[in-house]
Amino acid sequence: MTTPNIKLAAALALPLFLTGCVSAVDYSAANAGFSTVSGKTLAAAGKDTVWIQNRHDAEAAKSRVRQLMTKKTIDADTAVQVALINNKGLQAAYADLGDAAANAWQSTMLVNPKVSLGLTGIGTPGLVAFKAVEGVIAANILALATRKSNIEIADAALRKAELAAAMQTLQLAADTRRAWITAVASWETVAQLNQAQATADAASELAKKLGEAGSMTKGGQAREHVFYAELAGQTAKARLEARLAKEELSRLMGLWGADLDFQVPNRLPQLPRGLINRDMIEAEALQRRVDLQMAKLDLEATAKSLKLTEATRYVTDLEILSGFETERELEDGEKHKQTTGNVELEFVIPIFDSGQARMRKSELAYMRAANLLAEKAVNVRSEARSAYQAYRSNYDIARHYRNSVVPLRTKIEEESLLTYNGMISNTFELLADSREKVNSILLAVNAKRDFWLSEANLAPAIYGGGVGAAGGEIEVATAAAGGAGH
Query: At 334, is the pLDDT very low, low, confident or very high (cuts 50, 70, 90)?
Result: low
Taking residues 333-340, report their average pLDDT: 64
pLDDT, averaged across the chain: 75
pLDDT on residue 383: 92
Of 482, 175, 44, 224, nearest to 216 by C-alpha is 224
Would you give the distance in Å from CA 463 to the centre of its chain? 12
Which position has the higher pLDDT, 479 or 429? 429
Backbone torsion region of residue 214, taken as left when φ is above 0, otherwise alpha when ψ lies between -120 and 50, otherwise beta: left
Please say if the pLDDT value at position 22 is more than 50. Answer: no
pLDDT on residue 80: 95
pLDDT on residue 68: 92
pLDDT on residue 327: 58
pLDDT on residue 105: 85
User: Which of 151-155, 207-211, 391-395 tops mean pLDDT?
Assistant: 391-395
Least confident range from 78-82, 320-324, 341-345, 415-419: namely 320-324
Please say if the pLDDT value at position 290 is more than 80. Answer: yes
CB 187 within 8 A of CB 242: yes
DSSP string, 289-320: -HHHHHHHHHHHHHHHHHHHHHHTSS-S-EEE
Query: At 469, is the pLDDT very low, low, confident or very high (cuts 50, 70, 90)?
Result: very low
Query: At 386, is the pLDDT very low, low, confident or very high (cuts 50, 70, 90)?
Result: very high
Least confident range from 107-116, 278-287, 350-359, 447-456: namely 350-359
pLDDT on residue 157: 82
Of 175, 300, 187, nearest to 235 by C-alpha is 187
Query: At 206, is the pLDDT very low, low, confident or very high (cuts 50, 70, 90)?
Result: low
Positive or negative: CA dihedral 24, 25, 30, 33:
negative
CB 120 within 8 A of CB 114: no
Taking residues 374-385, report their average pLDDT: 91
Tens of pLDDT, residue by residue over 218-259, are 666 566 666 667 777 888 888 999 999 999 999 999 998 877
As a whole number of angstroms, the distance between CA 434 and CA 274 comes to 31
Q: What percent of the chain has pLDDT over 70?
A: 62
pLDDT on residue 338: 64
pLDDT on residue 5: 44
Which letter, b or e, does each residue of 176-186 get, where b requires 16 or more Cβ atoms within 10 Å of its Cβ? Answer: bbbbbbbbbbb
Query: Quick check: helix, strand or coil at residue 44?
Result: helix
Taking residues 172-192, report their average pLDDT: 94
Query: At 314, is the pLDDT very low, low, confident or very high (cuts 50, 70, 90)?
Result: very low
Please say if the pLDDT value at position 471 is more than 70. Answer: no
CA contacts within 13 A on the Cβ side of 26 = 4
Query: At 391, is the pLDDT very low, low, confident or very high (cuts 50, 70, 90)?
Result: very high
pLDDT on residue 416: 65
Please say if the pLDDT value at position 27 is more than 70. Answer: yes
Query: At 127, is the pLDDT very low, low, confident or very high (cuts 50, 70, 90)?
Result: very low
pLDDT on residue 330: 58
Which position has the higher pLDDT, 29 or 384? 384
Please say if the pLDDT value at position 305 is more than 60. Answer: yes
Full-prediction pTM beyond 0.85? Answer: no
Taking residues 323-351, report their average pLDDT: 58
pLDDT on residue 30: 77
As a whole number of angstroms, the distance between CA 266 and CA 394 comes to 21
Least confident range from 34-43, 141-150, 241-250, 475-484: namely 475-484
Maximum distance among all Cα pairs of the chain, rounded to whole angstroms = 143
